[in-house]
Structure 1
Amino acid sequence: MIDKITNIKIEGEKQVQDALIEVLDLCPRCRTKEQRTLIINAYHFAYEAHKGLKRKTGEPFIMHPIEVAKIVLTEIRLGVTSVMCALLHDVVEDNEEISLEDVENKFGKQVASIIDGLTKITNIYDDEQNVQAETFRKMLMSIPQDIRVILIKLADRLHNMRTLDGMEENRQIVKAGETLYVYAPLARRLGLNKIGRELEDLSFKHHLPDDYKKLLQIIKSSEEKREKNFNNFQDRMRPILKRSGIKYEIIGIRKSLYATWIKMRERQIPFDEIHNFQTMRLIFDPKIRDSERMQCYRIFALITEEFTAKKGSLQDLVKNPKANGFEALIVDIMDYEGNWKEVQILSRRMADIAERGYSSEKGDKEEKLSEREKWIQSIGDQLINPESNALDFLDNFKLNIYTSEIYVFTPLGKIVKLPKGSTVLDFAFHIHTQLGFHCIGAKVNKKLVNRSHVLNSADQIEVLDSVSTLPDKSWMNQVVSARAKTSLKNSLKKQIKDNVQQGEIILKEVQSTLDFETDQASINKLVKYFHSKDKRELYNKIGKGLIGTEELTKGFRTVNSTSLFENLIPSIFKSKSSDNNHSINQEFSHKKPFLIEESVEDTSYSFSECCHPIPGDKSIAYKNPNGYITIHQISCPNAIKLNAEHGKSVAKVQWGSHLLTQHLSSIHLKGIDRKKIVHELTEVISTQMNVNMKSIHIDSSNGIYNGNITIYVSSLNALNSLISKLKKISGIKTVERIKN
């Protein structure tokens, strides 16, 4: 095929040629021969690099970079250089014969730099480093230098998720976990809300397919009701807005299925009580003579003349936009059925940013450029302490992806933006690191509070400090912001490092006075004697003063006096090492299921306390660096994190038959209160179903009761049987398992 504008022959099968031509025709900046030639040259370079390769779906591999380029162009709206980089993003990673130098020689330093940011890290040989986390860190560190790296990576991940069906199930779970943990929240944080919603839903579909299908069915069953409500709002507002001369459109924006599922699970509420699943978004074309904010308020006045507004529901995000740039005037109104529904009022510019973030702006005006640069710099400011461990770095960055924020004031009236839930200590660290280290409390709105006091929007804070105050480990539980957590971690690490050095010196001094050997065997005995996990912890205790010289002297004498006695004990009387106490001899691999048979003696794995999995649950097994295996429910946030950070140390769980061993689980009940309801519940649980209860808690208010019951069950089948039985009790409306 010959391109008509450049007269360049396009290589490849017809399917591939047509896909590239579509990209070229969609590109508004590819009208000139020079720009079009750049993209075709990038395509030919990628075509040769991937020649003969097929995707898991069976199509030519080159279709993937072409589709990524299409997303970059149409859904994120980037330019020619970004389209070239999208086409080239896998050439260095997937072809050993191509280097970054080759890319630079062919396409220039800027393109090579972006491709470098998009290329996975493979040359890590230190077992303590995590390849996944190091790759994420490399990618995130590129944000202040060139935001296009992360935008192209999000396009790459979006296309991978759209075609995830072609992968094996274990790879689907890992990819979905990575996406939920890193990519979807990052897309939201960058203002790419449309992409963020799709990433969440595609991950939800593959990570928790049963929950996904159930929720999808519930949503489809109420589709007609939502459409009727939407049409009613449109019909009532149409004549009002027309009389006011406002050019507008009204669209429905849905929450992602995953966000809806999370909200239902966390609040223990049914789908019908999610009032903002579908938001009505009124988008207007602003008039030049008035500010956009004033026009938003005029439309708000028109809406609230026609509909009843919920008291206290108004949010002015035009004056105080979200961190990702989202601006809107938001209010809850009562629909024709008496239910509260959310309405967002936005200008055309605000609506564009709401879906694509600041990446959607053209940047042709100086003020727009400075606004975008300020936004990118705000992301860069969060990448503090890049020298830290990659996993710590990733966790700290995650802490900065907040959807909710508060605005507080300094004593001089300066506005400070903090994540929701921030404390006085978070505020102190935001002002200055040293102020945080010496913070003892504050005056909040002229009232004295301690440093763990949680702040609210509009609070005015005056921090109180003392040079004699120094942070300790408990302070980590008093902060939520990444800045404060990182500063405290670094301070505590330095304290431990100093203690370890001092502790080692003290130990050697005590040893020299006693004339005992300090070989590794002796140190290991001292570690056990002082109940420490390793010699570093032992040194830290000594340096911190928790182990005095007298105790250390006694310890030296005790472990040395027992050495001879231990050597005389026959090996058959010695207890077996816990390291050898593994009844499962199966090889652990992320490529095949980890089988769990019923056993009361197997100590090679444990069930996590965070989500309490039971046999039959869809679960994952995580093998830590010490070889110990932990079982998590697949829906557990920690499981999602483990898939994202340690994908090759995670395997799907396959359950054997479980009838005897008992596992903790909790259920939530709700219904109409009446006499003897608790008696009937316990009768069914204990007598009829022969299930042991750990605890039962029932609250009643206005004729409605809510209760939580913790029980011991052998498997998911046993739990489901109990739930089915409880639902038959008169007056019970809902019985659900409490997860995570």
Structure 2
Amino acid sequence: DIRVVLIKMADRLHNMRTLDSMSPNKQYKIAGETLYIYAPLAHRLGLFAIKTELEDLSFKYEHPAAYERISNQIKASEARRSAVYNDFSEPIKEKLVGMGLKYEAKARLKSVYSIWRKMETKHVPFEEVYDLYAMRIIFECDDQAKEKAICWQIYSAITDIYRLHPERTRDWISNPKANGYQALHLTVMGPDGNWIEVQIRSRRMDEIAELGFAAHWKYKIGEGDEESELNAWLSTIKDILDNPEPNAIDFLDTLKLNLFASEIVVFTPKGELLTLPNNSTVLDVAFELHSEIGMHCIAGKVNHKLVPLSHRLHSGDQVEVLTSQSQTPKPDWVNYLATAKAKSRLRQLMRREMAPVIEQGREIYEKYLADNSITDNNSVITKVLGTLRYDNREALFTALGRGEATLPDYLAKSLRPASSSIFSKILRPLKGKKSQNTDIKTPTKRKVNMKETYVLEYDEKNGHNFRLCDCCSPVPGDDVMGWVNDDGEVELHALSCPRASVLKASYGKRILNTRWAEQSGLFLAEVRIEGIDRFGILQEIIQMISMHLAIDIRKLDIEAEKEVFHCDLAVRVHDTKVITDLCSKLRNIRGVQRAARVNHLE
């Protein structure tokens, strides 16, 4: 029921607004699950104002220093931004007045979280985030039938003044987003030479953009498309809830798949419009039409050309699904799917088909435990899964039932007493991947007070009191959190790490607030350098790092193609300040266009 969802969203927003009264480890947990589930849910429902506030508040508690720094930079640049905006907007306003339109024009500033995400993903400083703001034009129109024509008239007026970016026009009026969003976006070059986005919408479109489906009832005339879209989406969510994944994390990920932000629009041969997540395939379309069609899909025709069922679709594609009664679902199909509905349906079908094999495997497992006088519990099954490298019970029982795996005799000894837990598979190192910080020794164990801030200490002789995981490899200065494993060790994750998001959202009681000690040893960090190739540039880079900065280089891979070179560098540093200083000095070398730290999550 959409009313329950709206109440839960309001409750979560209130929790986030009063989060400063919580202990730091609870702040991490609540902020983590907010970014993981609630912010995407708000986006999917079109609750843009709530989504933005949830993201900014989560960011504020997870990265307080970065939040304060960016907020201060926004305030400091306000006067300059206002001057640029006024120069850009005045000619447009004059034109709109001449057209006789009643309108409101304002600058929409990017949220603090959005600016930080752009800085992180593009590896650019605050000064180089050029699309800090967009111009929003909201016009008054009593006749909904005339809105589209007025939007394009304003579009034409703006492109008469400024040069248009040909690849950055977005028509969300003819094909609204799945969350009901409607607007016309164009990007033009401003007088200062930077690209500026302009968003054109009616007052009705603006209210729907800010309030989402909650605003549709105000404008509802009969059974509108928007309400049908909402009902279809809620029906998909209900379908997932009625047939949940056996594994809680898989279930959350499947549910989260349905909160997609990036969408494409494709058409059936009869012209029916389907809205799907980005990267959807022919197989997604088949399951979207009907589960039976998905089960028997063998290929597709995209724009009248024959393509395999794994073919990725683009907006505007016309898709025809080809089926055969002899076709049966395959386990590897899950790799071709992008929609939650299709993944959920496929897993249900595979479970049903594999039920006899899984039952046989379960009997083999239970007999093995009975023969060795071992009681089945979470610790035992997790130990077995960890040893035999299977993700869950189903995968293990399937392998045993098919005869692809056996339970060795030596395993029984290690199962008495059991020493693992359900958390081990979440933080198990990736197969075949060596630790990035090979110099870090095994952590010393000690009792941890969950209510106090845990000081991260490193001593080259006596070891250290934390364990670094391969997934993110943070260094002192990064925003990090601790997670206490079953052995009492504190495992360290960067707050931006996807595994940290899962832990915060699901196992909050083990989250630990942490602080780096003043001296924390040397840690491995990776830097990527790009630029224009020239004779002697590699020698200058090495001299800068080793001679002038006295930084220890552990790896250097450089490759040049024609006039451009790429260099991946691994160095040992004390903290993030050293990396920032290094990148700054490298960018001063003639020919170097970019130097930035590489995150293992990229």
Aligned: 1:157 with 2:18: no
Q: Cα deviation per residue 1:353-401 (whole Å; 9 max; x = unaligned)?
A: 111113134547543x645542431331231231425544432222122
CA distance in 2, matches of 1:583, 1:612: 15
Q: Given that residues 170 and 185 in structure 2 are in contact (C-alpha distance below 8 angstroms), is that contact kept between their aligned partners in structure 1?
A: yes
1:381 and 2:232 matched = no
**Kindly tell me: are residues 289 and 323 of structure 1, through their superposed partners in 2, closer, same or farther at Cα, counting changes over 3 Å?**
closer
Give the counterpart of 2:497 among 633, 636, 653.
636
2:255 matched to 1:397?
Answer: yes
Distance 2:146 2:10 in 1: 34
Matched with 1:478 is 336
- 1:461 Cα offset (Å): 2.0
Q: Which amino acid aligns with 1:341?
A: I
Distance (whole Å) between structure 2 residues aligned to residue 385 and residue 598 of structure 1: 46
Deviations 1:481-535 (A, max 9, x none): 11122223333444554323123557899x9xxxx98344599999699946698
Q: Which residue of 1 aligns with 2:438?
A: none
Matched with 1:679 is: 539
Percent identity over paired residues: 36
* Residues 598 and 657 in structure 1, CA contact (< 8 A), matched pair in contact too: no
- Counterparts of 1:524-535 in structure 2 under 5 Å? 531=388
Q: Given the alignment, which residue of 85, 92, 96 partners 1:241? A: 96
Work out the CA distance in 2 between the residues paired with 1:370 and 1:725.
Answer: 58
Q: Is the 2:216–2:227 contact (alpha carbons within 8 Å) kept by the matching residues of 1?
A: no
Contact 1:503-1:543 within 8 A present in 2 as well: yes
User: 1:428–1:435: 8 Å Cα contact kept in structure 2?
Assistant: yes
Report the equivalent of 2:428: none
Question: RMSD of the TM alignment (CA)?
Answer: 4.0
Give the letter aligned to residue 374 of structure 1.
S
Q: Which residue of 1 aligns with 2:432?
A: none
- Alpha carbons of 1:291 and 1:535: their partners in 2 closer, same or farther (altered >3 Å)? closer
CA distance in 2, matches of 1:528, 1:405: 37
Q: Does 1:622 align with 2:487?
A: no
Please say if residues 191 and 354 of structure 1, whose CA atoms lie closer than 8 Å, have aligned partners that are also in contact. yes
Contact 2:42 2:48 in 1 (8 A): yes
Q: Could you say which residue in structure 1 is the equivalent of 2:22? A: 167
TM-score by length of structure 2 reads 0.81
In 2, the alpha carbon distance for the partners of 1:508 and 1:205 equals 49
Per-residue displacement from partner, 1:291-329 (whole Å, max 9, x unpaired)?
211121122122222222222332211111112211111
Provide Cα deviations, 1:62-100, integer angstroms capped at 9, x if missing partner.
xxxxxxxxxxxxxxxxxxxxxxxxxxxxxxxxxxxxxxx
1:617-664, CA deviations, whole angstroms, 9 ceiling, x for partnerless residues?
Answer: 32112346787764210122332342222221211234457666x644
Normalising by the residue count of structure 1, what TM-score does the alignment of the two structures yield? 0.67
Q: Specify the code of the residue in structure 2 equivalent to 1:211.
A: A
One-letter code aligned to 2:493: H
Q: How far, CA to CA, are the matches of 2:565 and 2:304 in structure 1?
A: 42
Q: Return the match for 2:399 from 533, 538, 541.
A: 541
Preserved CA contact (<8 Å) 2:553 2:569: no
Distance 1:275 1:475, change over 3 A: farther
For residues 614 and 529 of structure 1, the distance between their equivalents in structure 2, rounded to whole angstroms, comes to 28
Distance 1:437 1:235, change over 3 A: same
> How do residues 364-375 of structure 1 correspond to structure 2 at under 5 angstroms?
366-367=221-222, 370-371=224-225, 373-375=227-229
In the alignment, structure 1 residue 314 sits paired with structure 2 residue 169? yes
Match of 1:491 among 344, 349, 358: 349
Contact 2:420 2:486 (C-alpha < 8 Å) held by counterparts: no
Task: Give the whole-Å Cα distance in 2 for the aligned partners of 1:402 and 1:355.
Answer: 18
User: Is 1:448 the counterpart of 2:306 in the alignment?
Assistant: yes
Bigger shift: 239-248 or 609-618? 609-618
Looking at structure 2, the residues matched to 193 and 541 of structure 1 have their Cα atoms a distance apart, in angstroms, of 46
Instruction: Describe how 1:214-613 pairs up with structure 2 within 5 A.
Output: 214-271=69-126, 274-286=129-141, 288=143, 291-363=146-218, 366-367=221-222, 370-371=224-225, 373-383=227-237, 384-387=239-242, 388=244, 390-494=248-352, 497-504=355-362, 518-520=371-373, 531=388, 539-547=397-405, 559=409, 584-588=444-448, 590-598=450-458, 606-613=467-474
Residue type at the aligned position of 2:286: A
| Counterpart for residue 528 of structure 2 | 668
- Is the contact between residue 697 and residue 707 of structure 1 (CA under 8 Å) also seen in structure 2? yes
In structure 2, distance between residues paired with 1:653 and 1:391: 25
**Structure 2: which amino acid aligns with 1:621?**
G
Residues 698, 705 of structure 1: 8 Å contact kept? yes
- Does the CA-based 8 Å contact 2:104-2:139 persist in structure 1? yes
Q: In structure 1, what is the equivalent of residue 65 of structure 2?
A: 210
Deviation at 1:590, TM superposition (A): 4.2
CA shift for structure 1 position 432: 2.0
Q: Structure 1, residues 125-158: CA drift from partner, whole Å, max 9, x if none?
A: xxxxxxxxxxxxxxxxxxxx2x233323333333
Aligned residues: 569
Distance in 2 of aligned mates of 1:288 and 1:210: 48
The amino acid across from 1:481 in the alignment is: T
Counterparts of 2:443 and 2:293, CA distance in 1: 53
Tell me the SS of whatever aligns to 2:236. Answer: coil
Contact between 1:589 and 1:649, CA under 8 Å: does it hold in 2?
no
C-alpha distance in 2 between matches for 1:296 and 1:210? 41
Q: 1:733 to 1:314 in 2, by over 3 A?
A: closer
Identify which of structures 1 and 2 has the higher relative contact order when contacts are C-alpha pairs closer than 8 Å and 6+ apart. Answer: 2
Q: Larger Cα Rg: Structure 1 or Structure 2?
A: 1
Q: Aligned partners of 2:115, 2:536: CA distance in 1, in Å?
A: 35
User: Cα offset for 1:686?
Assistant: 4.7
In structure 2, do the counterparts of structure 1 residues 411 and 372 end up closer, same or farther at CA, with 3 Å as the change threshold? closer
Residue of structure 1 in register with 2:424 after alignment: none
Residues 304 and 431 of structure 1: is their aligned pair in 2 closer, same or farther, counting only changes over 3 Å?
A: same
Where does structure 1 lack aligned partners over 5 or more consecutive residues? 1-144
Query: How much does 1:173 deviate?
Result: 2.5
Hey, what does 2:598 align to over in structure 1? 738
